[in-house]
Amino acid sequence: MLRWLQSPASDTQITHGQRMWLYVFACIAMILLVLPTLIVIPMSFSDSQYLEFPPETWSTRWYAHYFGSPEWMQATATSLKAALLTMLVATPIGVVAAYGLHASRIGFVRVAFVLLITPMMVPVVLIAIGAFYAYVKLNLLYTLTGLVLAHTVLALPLVLIVTGSALKGYDMNQEMAARSLGAPRWKAFLTVTLPQIRFAVVTSALLSFLTSFDEVVIAMFISGGDNPTLTRNMFNALRDQIDPTIASISTIMIVITSLMMIFAQIFGRGASDK
């Protein structure tokens, strides 16, 4: 142990002992990053109103309350539908746009690229009230279509950036080879290019799903009536009081995102093993 403390830790010849503080600090920081989220999980199984940790008596009453409430169930269904549809709209539109911008090298491309990633830079509140106003005119307020379109706009920059950077690392000459052998452009894209950027496409799809599923501010304005989203209801519940039901919903959401992360990892490994 002592020898380890005095052994050099990096190329600068600093010893492990001299930078012990860094190890302690980093461990505390990592615990603080993860713990607050994870601690919600055991708390959600507490029987008490006040969400003790560790729970004195365990129960699944908050889950029962969540699954038994038509409002929460309806909101969950809306959120899942919106997220799935956003994924199905934003991914193809975004991938095709990224491909078009990558392959076409005229001056306007830069303008189009900047325009397509602005939703990431414009404050989301502004997008929300703008969409709210537009939807009143277009009769899209409180509709699933409206929600999906707005979330698609938010997801497009991510799709464009992720797919775009994958295309940068892809050799377009392979597609040229396919085309010179007689494949039409669309077929060359589908059979040669797409399989090679599939990890980026899958990542884009997952990011689109999560963008929509987690989105609060836009949903606050343009979802409602019969179609409020899960996050909108959660946010409203949080503003009033600490409702323990939200702990159970949070746990379910953590499980969903973790599963998606694992899914992305598996796909990622498949792509890099090649």
CA-nearest of 204, 193, 190 to 160 is: 204
Could you say which DSSP state residue 104 is in?
-
Contact predicate 158/207, CB 8 Å: yes
Question: Least Å distance between CB 63 and other proteins?
Answer: 16
Site string for other proteins, 10-49 (x = CB under 8 A): xxxxx---x---xx-xx--xx-xxx-xx-xx--x------
Q: Where are the alpha helices (DSSP H) in 13-143?
A: 20-38, 40-43, 61-68, 70-103, 108-117, 124-138
Nearest to other proteins of 201, 253 (CB atom): 253
Nearest to other proteins of 84, 260 (CB atom): 260
Site for other proteins in 254-273 (CB under 8 A): 254, 257-258, 260-261
Question: Least Å distance between CB 150 and other proteins?
Answer: 6
Site for other proteins in 237-256 (CB under 8 A): 238-239, 242, 246-247, 250, 253-254
**C-alpha–C-alpha distance, residues 74 and 144, integer Å:** 13
Stretch that binds other proteins, among 56-64, 66-74, 112-120, 175-183 (CB under 8 A): 112-120
Nearest to other proteins of 36, 182 (CB atom): 36
Q: Is 190 a residue that touches other proteins (CB under 8 A)?
A: no
Contact predicate 82/212, CB 8 Å: yes
Q: Is 188 a residue that touches other proteins (CB under 8 A)?
A: no
DSSP per-residue letters across 40-61? HHHHTTBSSTT--SS-SSB--H
Stretch that binds other proteins, among 63-71, 80-88, 172-180, 214-222 (CB under 8 A): 214-222
Stretch that binds other proteins, among 66-74, 120-128, 171-179, 190-198 (CB under 8 A): 120-128
**C-alpha–C-alpha distance, residues 229 and 72, integer Å:** 9
**C-alpha–C-alpha distance, residues 265 and 247, integer Å:** 27
